[in-house]
Amino acid sequence: MRLFVAIDLPEGIKRQLDALCAGVSGAKWVSPEQMHLTLRFIGEVDTRQFEGIQTVLAGIRSPSFEMALKGVGQFPPKGKPRVLWVGITAPRTLHQLAGKVEAALRQAGIPPEDRPFSPHITLARLKTPPPPEAVSQYFRRYGAFQTGSITVGHFRLMSSVLARTGATYKIEGEYQLEQADQT
């Protein structure tokens, strides 16, 4: 089973992001149903590991928070792009949640992530880098993109099945965040 931990996005936000998915030749654009904020990619696990992961994720305590999407960029940040993305503006709570997920997964025996957490929503993957001018034009066109505030009240454990037509995602678990004190 191939797993990752993610924050899903509201359908209206996915529609806004889908409008950004054009204008760069050779890009493999992400479909709206696959758009999410990855907190941690886990990879292939066996049944025992899967059960342990579910248990440790259920033990995470973190407050809900607000975030917004803002701007576009690329990975790697310089040179030939391999990924186009939308950025995230969020309080430290998002990074703290990602840290708690990382710590929980280590407790479940999952090797640590070797890259720092870099919150983003992937829009496209590029096997063959497009002409630099096409990417520059894309950034000029969509660089000012931003959404309103999005309330994050839970995160999910997702499985991914790869196929020729793309990945299919399934929710394996949903974990509620603590509601902010309204007093």
* Tens of pLDDT, residues 118-160: 999 999 999 998 999 999 999 999 999 999 999 999 999 999 9
- Residue range 55-74: average pLDDT? 98
- Residue range 40-54: average pLDDT? 97
> How far is the C-alpha of 66 from the C-alpha of 94, rounded, in Å?
9
Q: Inform me whether the pLDDT recorded for 79 exceeds 70.
A: yes
* 155, 7 contact by CB (below 8 A): yes
Structure tokens at 102: 């990382």
Q: Inform me whether the pLDDT recorded for 99 exceeds 50.
A: yes
Determine the pLDDT at residue 32. 96
Cα 72–Cα 76–Cα 77 angle in degrees, nearest 5: 55
Determine the pLDDT at residue 181. 60
Determine the pLDDT at residue 160. 96
Domains, the chain, ordered by start: 2-175 (3.90.1140.10)
Determine the pLDDT at residue 35. 97
| More confident of the two residues 75 and 163 | 75
> Among candidates 168, 138, 104, 171, which has minimal Cα distance to 19?
138
User: Percent of the chain, pLDDT > 90?
Assistant: 92
What are the φ and ψ backbone dihedral angles of 170, each rounded to 5 degrees?
-135, 135
* 9, 36 contact by CB (below 8 A): yes
Q: Inform me whether the pLDDT recorded for 182 exceeds 60.
A: no
Determine the pLDDT at residue 135. 95
Determine the pLDDT at residue 183. 45
Question: Average pLDDT, whole number, for the chain?
Answer: 95
Determine the pLDDT at residue 112. 96
- Residue range 107-124: average pLDDT? 96
- 103, 104, 112, 183 from 69: Cα distances, Å: 26, 27, 27, 28
According to DSSP, residue 21 is labeled S
- Residue range 26-44: average pLDDT? 96
* 53, 108 contact by CB (below 8 A): yes
Q: Inform me whether the pLDDT recorded for 180 exceeds 70.
A: no
Q: With the C-alpha atoms ordered 42, 74, 161, 54, is the resulting torsion angle positive or negative? A: positive
Structure tokens at 73: 């960029």
pTM of the predicted structure, to 2 decimals: 0.94
Determine the pLDDT at residue 166. 78
Structure tokens at 171: 């929710």
Which residues carry out catalysis? Answer: 36, 120
Helix (H) / strand (E) containing 100: helix 92-107
